[in-house]
Amino acid sequence: MSSAAESKEIQKIGNLLLDQSRPLKERFRALFTLKNLGGDEAIACISQCFSDPSALLKHECAYCLGQMQDLKAVSILKEILEDASEDPIVRHEAGEALGALAPPDLLDLLKKYTQDPAVEVSETCQLALERVQWVHSATKEDGLSDNPYNSVDPAPPCADFSTQQLREILLDEKQTLFQRYRAMFALRNKGNIESIAALTEGMKCSSALFRHEIAFVLGQIQSEAATKQLIKNLRDTSEHPMVRHECAEALGAIASEECMNVLKEYQKDPERVVRESCDVALDMCDYEKGEEFQYADTLQHLSS
């Protein structure tokens, strides 16, 4: 495909992302297609979406910008983090994305927002600060466990610990979140039934940010062994919407009949971010049960 033709195609996909009249599931597919394509035009299209009324979509836009690993996204993410009028779920994801990009000149900014009034933002910026410091440390540790998921994580997984040792770190609320996140990702990478059991225990810990990230990694693992706890947290209307949203998306990744039935039940939840997550998760269920090579494979006909 010529550069002109590719640019035209990116613009078509970007127009779909920005079209509020289209179903959210289609716009999500457009977003992840742009993430996979990368480049300046894809970043520009994603950046335009931060005026959208959907906090869920803006949150995913911030996530994708971090995963793209292109420093051209730093300025827009910085602007979102600094916008006190923005939904904390979106600001949190912007902070996490800055940590994923790890620009060393933003340490002062991240330090500032470790004191943010929104706890999900302050905790995220503390994690991002520690990740950036870790990335640029001359004494960066070796011996990390392999990451089979190709994701840029908020903390590096530690290695050379038993599952029981990792469980103890994960559940120890006296440890820093950074160390507990390291244990979390190491347990995810192990992926055995004992590790999954330890992670589901973490869904009862005090930090909503922590619970939300555990739900995310359980979705990456896609084990039905996590279904019961994910459903429990989704059903809990006193649970933080950020956690319930992530539980819904994890259930969509697991994609069992039980998961689909529960997601349908919560498509009309009073919390917008929850009901939208259920819609997107059900689309993910269709993908997991289908034969598409990639989640965004069916996008071509949608953008035509």
Residue numbering of the annotated binding site for Fe cation: 59-60, 92-93, 212-213, 245-246
Tokens of 162: 């038993």
CA distance 151 to 136: 19
CA distance 156 to 263: 31
**Annotated binding-site members:** 59-60, 92-93, 212-213, 245-246
In angstroms, the Cα distances linking 239 to 135, 205, 217, 247, 248 are: 33, 12, 18, 11, 13
**112 sits in which H/E element:** helix 107-113
**Which residue pairs, CB below 8 angstroms and at least 24 apart, start in 84-88?**
86/58, 87/55, 87/58, 87/59, 88/118, 88/120, 88/121
CA distance 264 to 144: 39
